[in-house]
Amino acid sequence: MLKIQNLQAGIEGRTILKGINLEIKAGEVHAIMGPNGSGKSTLASVIAGKTDYEVTEGRIEFMGKDLLDMLPEKRAGEGLFLGFQYPVEIPGLSTTNFIKTAVNELRKYRGEEPLDAVAFLRLMKEKMALMDIQQPLLSRSLNEGFSGGEKKRNEIFQMAMLQPKLAILDETDSGLDIDAIRIVANGVNKLRSKDNAVLLITHYQRLLDFIIPDFVHVLYNGRIVKSGTKELALELELKGYDFIKNDLNIAETV
C-alpha cells in the first residue's frame, strides 16, 4: 500500500529525514516510536504533503502511484488520512459543514454522487456513537475551544467519516487521559480491516496496549534504526531510548 524508499527531507535547508525506508501493506498496523526531534512528525507531514518541507531524495509510492507528485487534497482523495498532533482551530466553520464538504469532495474525487442529507446524517450518527461525540460539539466551530481530548476524538471521528485506506495518526495519544485513549483506540480498532492500514506515531508504549501493532519501528536522528514486533515497544518502555542510542554508538565504533 505505502512504500517509502530512501526518503530524505528537510526544512529551511536543515535535513531532518536522512533516508527512510518503510513498507506498509493492507491490513497492517505499524507504529513508529522515537525520542523528541527524531523526525516522526516530519515524516507524517511529508507523507500528507505539507509544503513547508522539501523532499531532496527518495520516493513514496501509495497504491502504486507516486505520492510526492500529488497535492495534499489529491493524496486524501487516494485514501490517505493524517490525524494531526495539533488539530487546527478554524473559526466560523462548523465541524459538521467541514466534514460534509470533505466527505463529498472525496466522493467527487472517486466519481461518486454526493451524499444526500439523510444518508449523511445516518453516517454521522453511526460514527458519533462510535466516538462518543455529541451533536453540540459538531455544531461548534471546528476545533475552536475544544479540549485536548475533544480535538483528538474529533480527528478519529473524521477518520471514521472519511474511511481512508491508510491513516497516519500523529501522536493522537499525547495529552489524553486513559479514558480518552480507550475511546480513541476503540475507534481505531473498529475501523481496522484487511483492506486498510494504520501508521501510529507515538512517544509511548501506552497506546500500543490498546491498539496492537504488527510492526514497531524506532526512528532516531532521521533514520529507522530498529524494527520489530510489539515486543520492541515493551523493551523501549522498559529501557528507554538510551539503549537504542547505545546500540548505535557500539555499532558505529565497531
Partner 1 sequence: MDTIEYLTGQFHEFPQDSIDRGLDILRQDAFNAFNTMGIPGMKHEEWKYTRINKLFNTDYSLSADPADHSVSTSDLGPYRLPGNKDANELFFINGRFAFDLSVIQSAGLQVLPISTAYNGEHRDVIAENLSHSSRYLKDGINALNTAFLQHGVFIQVGRGLILEHPVYIYNITDARTANIFSQPRSLVNINEGAQVQMVETFITFGMNESFTNQVMEVVVQQDAVVEYYKIQNDASHTNQVSTTHFRQTAKSYVHTVTISLNGGIVRNNLNMVMDAEHCESHLYGLYFQQGKSHIDNHTIVDNAMPNCLSNEFYKGILDGNSSGVFNGKIFVQRDAQKTNAYQSNKNVLLSEEASVNTKPQLEIFADDVKCSHGCTVGRLDEEGLFYLRSRGISEKIARSLLLHGFVVDILDKIRLAVIRNYADQLISERLEFDIS
Which residues would be at the binding site for partner 1 (CB under 8 A)?
A: 48-51, 71-73, 75-77, 81-82, 84, 87-93, 97-98, 101-102, 105-106, 109, 141, 158, 162
Phi-psi map region of 175: left, alpha, beta (phi>0 left; psi -120 to 50 alpha): left
Rank residues 13 and 92 by Cβ distance to partner 1 and give the closer one.
Answer: 92
Largest CA distance in the chain: 66
Smallest distance, partner 1 to C-beta of residue 83, A: 10
Smallest distance, partner 1 to C-beta of residue 54, A: 15
Rank residues 49 and 213 by Cβ distance to partner 1 and give the closer one.
Answer: 49
CA dihedral 180, 224, 73, 125 (to 10 degrees): -20
Q: Do 63 and 78 form a contact (C-beta atoms < 8 A)?
A: yes
Rank residues 71 and 119 by Cβ distance to partner 1 and give the closer one.
Answer: 71
Rank residues 75 and 217 by Cβ distance to partner 1 and give the closer one.
Answer: 75
Q: Do 189 and 210 form a contact (C-beta atoms < 8 A)?
A: yes
CA gap 9, 42 in Å, rounded: 8
Q: How buried is residue 43: exposed, middle or buried, by Cβ count under 10 Å (0-12/13-18/19+)?
A: buried
Smallest distance, partner 1 to C-beta of residue 232, A: 29
Smallest distance, partner 1 to C-beta of residue 98, A: 7
Smallest distance, partner 1 to C-beta of residue 191, A: 16
Q: Do 127 and 186 form a contact (C-beta atoms < 8 A)?
A: no
Rank residues 168 and 224 by Cβ distance to partner 1 and give the closer one.
Answer: 168
